[in-house]
């Protein structure tokens, strides 16, 4: 029995790469695309066609479920679309695997409640790359000893949300060890708004958007006379595929919410 997956965001950069990864995995099958347009058409290698090539596109979850028994919805859409897709998937008994960034803390809490009500497992992974998850774990560990932290995340200029989901999750993980405190000079004067970045409990997050970048993050941890720099680079969206496949295989056996891939790797 293969795990049957529908993809929301299938026409996009992540969706296209994910379909390729799923198609080369014998135990997982890409069955359909959930979209907001192109209902009734098909998607093949990132191209829409009306000749029946590739996977069928649905604009309604209900209609998709009438035609297919879907186990997992992989969502790689955008911050405005993801919450509704997850809500609908859970209501239809489909396990969401969410890569889309930009969910608010409140939305994650609401999803947690829905998961408990529906008894359907869900995985939200701010970053599917194993290397990025390790960088986040190491940063959290290191912040126990070096508690002055600045996060610099750098992404391609097509990214909608800032700061990145990875930076937000990194700050949340560090928060568990680092007591809130002001960093820098207490009487600091900021002459151009935003110069010191976003603030999480005194920790700073800086977001860089440039063509040529894909997904990169540095965590700088400073101490008296020393600096620890942890850096991760995704140079190719293939870096996210092992985490996506791991999540798809794992979520079908769950009835709880997993927020962060660090909970799936030791
Ligand atoms: N967790 C992780 O490891 C990673 C997460 N991401 C996240 O994944 C998301 C997608 O990234 P990326 O592939 O680069 O973005 P893209 O813009 O390339 O793809 C998003 C796709 O979603 C489509 N879309 C928008 N709304 C809907 C909807 N309601 N239903 C179905 N499809 C919809 C868009 O269509 P249209 O073009 O018509 O607007 C677009 O084709 C982002 O949030 C990004 O941050 C990215 C990489 C790794
Ligand atoms: O938009 C992207 O590309 C990425 N988004 C995720 C994020 O917001 O952290 C994951 C990765 O950094 C790529």
Atom of ligand 1 lying closest to residue 98 CA:
1
Residue 105 assigned ligand-binding role: no
Domain range summary for the chain, segments of one domain joined by +: 3-124+238-263, 130-235
- Please work out whether the CB of residue 163 comes within 6 Å of at least one atom of ligand 2: no
Are 107 and 240 spatial neighbours (Cβ–Cβ below 8 Å)?
no
- Is this prediction's ipTM beyond 0.90? yes
The domain made up of 130-235 has a fold known as: Dihydrodipicolinate Reductase; domain 2 (3.30.360)
The Cα–Cα gap between 198 and 74 comes to 30
Spacing, Cα 99 to ligand 1 middle (Å): 9
How far, in Å, from the CA of 120 to the mean position of ligand 1?
23
CA 200, 105, 188: angle at the middle one, nearest 5? 15
Each residue's pLDDT, cut to its tens digit, for the chain (266 residues) gives 899 999 999 999 999 999 999 999 999 999 999 999 999 999 999 999 999 999 999 999 999 999 999 999 999 999 999 999 999 999 999 999 999 999 999 999 999 999 999 999 999 999 999 999 999 999 999 999 999 999 999 999 999 999 999 999 999 999 999 999 999 999 999 999 999 999 999 999 999 999 999 999 999 999 999 999 999 999 999 999 999 999 999 999 999 999 999 999 98
- List the structure tokens of 85: 């897709």
CA of 97 to the centre of ligand 2 (A): 15
Q: Which class is 3-124+238-263 in CATH?
A: alpha beta
Mutate to test the pocket of ligand 2, among 103, 104, 129, 215 (most ligand atoms within 8 A of CB): 215
Q: What is the pLDDT of residue 218?
A: 98
Q: Is the peptide bond before 101 cis (omega within 30 degrees of 0)?
A: no
pTM: 0.97
3-state secondary structure 60-127: CHHHHHHHCCCCEEEECCCCCCHHHHHHHHHHCCCEEEECCCCCCHHHHHHHHHHHHHHCCCEEECCC
């Amino acid at each position: 029995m293969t795990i049957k997956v529908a993809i929301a965001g299938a026409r996009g950069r992540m969706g296209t790469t994910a379909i390729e990864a799923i198609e080369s995995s014998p135990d997982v099958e890409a069955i359909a695309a959930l979209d907001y347009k192109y209902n009734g058409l098909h998607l093949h290698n990132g191209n829409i066609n009306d000749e029946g090539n590739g996977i069928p596109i649905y604009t309604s979850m209900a209609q998709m479920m009438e035609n297919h028994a879907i186990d997992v919805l992989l969502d790689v859409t955008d911050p405005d679309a993801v919450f509704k897709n997850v809500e609908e998937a859970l209501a239809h008994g489909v396990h969401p695997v969410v890569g889309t960034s930009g969910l608010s803390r409140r939305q994650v809490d609401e999803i947690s409640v829905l998961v408990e009500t529906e008894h359907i497992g869900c995985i939200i992974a701010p970053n599917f790359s194993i290397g990025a998850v390790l960088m986040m774990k190491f940063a959290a560990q290191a912040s126990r000893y070096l508690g002055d932290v600045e996060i610099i995340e750098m992404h391609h200029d097509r990214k909608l949300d800032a700061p990145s989901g990875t930076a937000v999750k990194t700050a949340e993980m560090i928060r568990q060890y680092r007591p809130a405190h002001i960093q820098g000079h207490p009487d600091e004067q900021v002459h151009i708004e935003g110069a010191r970045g976003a603030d999480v409990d005194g920790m700073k997050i800086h977001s860089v958007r440039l063509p040529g970048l894909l997904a990169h993050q540095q965590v700088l941890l400073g101490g008296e006379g020393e600096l620890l720099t942890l850096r991760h680079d995704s140079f190719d969206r293939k870096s996210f595929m092992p985490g996506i496949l791991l999540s798809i295989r794992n979520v079908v056996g769950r009835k709880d919410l997993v927020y962060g891939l660090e909970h799936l790797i030791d």
